[in-house]
Structure 1
Amino acid sequence: MTTLTRRTLLTGGLALLGTSTLIACAPQAQPPTSTAPDTAGTAGTADALDEKARQLLSAHGIQAATAEDAVTALDRVPQQRPLALTGSVGYDQVVLADDAEQVTVPLTGGRFYLSAAPYRTQTHECYYHNLGGCQGELVDAPTHLTVTTDTGQILVDEDTTTYANGFTGVWIPRDLTGTVTITAEGTTASTPFDSGPDGPTCLTTLHLT
């Protein structure tokens, strides 16, 4: 059994009530564990999605070759949340679900998906980013994103625009710690990140001041 499927209700981004009701962007209830191999600082070629996952994504208009492609595409769907299809992103897998079924797909490319939602007046508590459930305050907002490790390595330094869900998402190496900084219209916010097995994939504490 893999990481997310062992976690209980309210372990971020995806929780089950009964068999199919979903709660998006919930906080983490307890520290997670992972059986994933150590891939610090590396990234490889991701495995192809299996047929069941492809069919679920296709039913919601998303075509993707790998789980990483699916995460990126679902996060960028140009509609405010919630969507009919959700996807809870963890360290080494993403749980895709709609009202009919749930599919757990491993993230095999050796990278960590980090989602950040800057805000000015309101935010929500989150731990594991739900691609079809989390909704941030600032939609289609021009920003500048910097992701820097504790050792000073700059992983990301680019102009971005938040998606329809108010988030910006980037793939970074696993098993690093550091700081995420977002600047928008002359205001800046920073927060720590942790791309290890216990790290959050959803950063919602970036208060622009």
Structure 2
Amino acid sequence: MRLSKSAASLAALTLLLSLTACTATGGADDASVGTGASAGLGAEADALLASYDIQAPASATELIDQLQAQPLAERPDGLMASVRVDELLLSSGDGEVSLPLPEDEFRLSIAPYLTDTHECFYHSLTTCVGELGNTDLHVTITDDANAQVLVDSDITTFENGFFDVTLPTGLDITVIIDDGERSVELPLGTRAEDPTCVTTAQLS
């Protein structure tokens, strides 16, 4: 199943008007390209995380890894962690902390599905739940401009049904996901206007 790039862009823009992070409706490998963020979260972020008994790691990218891999039963109730293109937004009640992400990296979270999905634009590390948790898949990602293969890996989705890739910014890409019996092909992007959360990957 392949969506046109124009249809994908229109859908992304429509969702952007109404969504900042997905909501729940319902153990992994991180196939990455690139390096991590600079160290240090700051006193405000450390204090916010400490209020949920979360020890702050050295960088925002490490915090994304930590929260993404967290078992669903251990998710902190009340903490929101929204992955944007250039920042990780932490919020609780009236407080919000912005943690910068590397400018040359794009963090993409994808939740393949068979029958059940939800709308999403910016991935929420503490509320998003996909259908296929702990599922083995093969993922291939190609740069459309030069046919360079950026990712060609066997991965296992996290318990929340997502898998993550870290890619260079400013690209048009083609993502192919295969579970051995079904597959899906998606045209996506890694620009400022593109989603960090993809829940339209229906395996068929």
Distance 1:146 1:54, change over 3 A: farther
2:65 maps to 1:72: yes
Distance 1:182 1:42, change over 3 A: closer
Name the residue aligned to 1:24. Answer: 23
Aligned residues: CA RMSD: 2.5
Cα distance in 1 for partners of 2:42, 2:135 equals 35
Distance 1:81 1:112, change over 3 A: farther
Distance 1:169 1:80, change over 3 A: farther
2:198 maps to 1:203: yes
- Kindly indicate whether the alpha-carbon contact (under 8 Å) linking 1:80 and 1:164 is maintained by their aligned counterparts in 2: no
Distance 1:110 1:54, change over 3 A: farther
- Kindly indicate whether the alpha-carbon contact (under 8 Å) linking 1:62 and 1:74 is maintained by their aligned counterparts in 2: no
Name the residue aligned to 1:48. Answer: 40
Distance 1:83 1:179, change over 3 A: farther
Moved >6 Å (runs of 4+): none
Tell me how many residue pairs correspond in the alignment: 178
Cα deviation, residue 44, structure 1: 6.9
Say which is worse superposed, 94-103 or 190-199, in terms of deviation: 94-103
Cα deviation, residue 111, structure 1: 1.0
Partner deviation per Cα, 1:161-196 (whole Å, 9 max, x = no partner): 111110001111111111111111321112122111
Residue 45 of structure 2 aligns to a residue in which SS?
helix
Q: Which runs of 5+ in 1 are unaligned?
A: 1-7, 14-22, 26-40
Aligned partner (choices 10, 28, 31) of residue 18 of structure 2? 10
TM-score norm. by structure 2 comes to 0.78
Trace 1:9-158 onto structure 2 (pairs within 5 A): 10-13=18-21, 24=23, 45-60=37-52, 61-79=54-72, 83-84=76-77, 85-99=79-93, 101-108=95-102, 110-150=104-144, 151-158=146-153
Q: Percent identity among equivalent residues?
A: 35
Q: Which runs of 5+ in 2 are unaligned?
A: 1-15, 25-32
Cα distance in 2 for partners of 1:68, 1:80 equals 22
Name the residue aligned to 1:3. Answer: none
Partner deviation per Cα, 1:33-92 (whole Å, 9 max, x = no partner): xxxxxxxx9757524211211232344324311111111111111116974222111110
Cα distance in 2 for partners of 1:138, 1:100 equals 33
- Kindly indicate whether the alpha-carbon contact (under 8 Å) linking 1:47 and 1:109 is maintained by their aligned counterparts in 2: no
Cα distance in 2 for partners of 1:181, 1:80 equals 30
TM-score norm. by structure 1 comes to 0.76
- Kindly indicate whether the alpha-carbon contact (under 8 Å) linking 2:89 and 2:99 is maintained by their aligned counterparts in 1: yes
Distance 1:148 1:73, change over 3 A: same
The answer to which structure, 1 or 2, has the higher relative contact order (CA under 8 A, 6+ apart) is 2
- Kindly indicate whether the alpha-carbon contact (under 8 Å) linking 2:130 and 2:162 is maintained by their aligned counterparts in 1: yes
- Kindly indicate whether the alpha-carbon contact (under 8 Å) linking 2:37 and 2:61 is maintained by their aligned counterparts in 1: no
- Kindly indicate whether the alpha-carbon contact (under 8 Å) linking 2:86 and 2:101 is maintained by their aligned counterparts in 1: yes
- Kindly indicate whether the alpha-carbon contact (under 8 Å) linking 1:43 and 1:173 is maintained by their aligned counterparts in 2: no
